[in-house]
Homo-oligomer: A and B are copies of this chain.
């Protein structure tokens, strides 16, 4: 199998395969004419890489899985080094998710507060005398704009 076919079967591009080879991840045999030659096991390696990439692993993190497969193990995650990557990744994910949830909460609070402020101003504008003092906001400044 040549590079174009492998790329198509893996749902990627030839550029990507050459890039992986340049990184030492997916070396290729060569035909007499210099063309890269691949077999089914290369397809398995490639699929392993792609799966992990889809999970957000970067290329270097896929290396233990690929080496594990090339060592003849039944799965890319049959080796301790791969499990270590899994665990590290879980930690990273948990940290990242936590951060994002914290940010989400803060942004949500900001939005709520800003919406409440706008609602307050709108109510004030509707009845120029100041309708019913809604909360503890000092209602004596009509609009804080500085036109």
Contact = CB atoms under 8 A, between A and B. Distances in A.
Interface of A: 55-56, 72-75, 77-78, 82-83, 86-87, 89-90, 93-94, 96-97, 100-101, 103-104, 106-108, 110-111, 114-115, 117-118, 144-147
Given A73-B145, A78-B117, A97-B97, A87 B103 contact: no
Contacts of A75: 114, 117
B83 A107 contact: no
A111 to B, nearest CB: 4
A97 B101 contact: yes
B100 A55 contact: no
Contacts of A77: 110-111, 114
B114 A78 contact: yes
A107 B55 CA distance: 8
B111 A83 contact: yes
A86 B118 CA distance: 14
A96 B100 contact: yes
Contacts of A56: 103
Given A78-B118, A144-B74, A111 B90 contact: yes
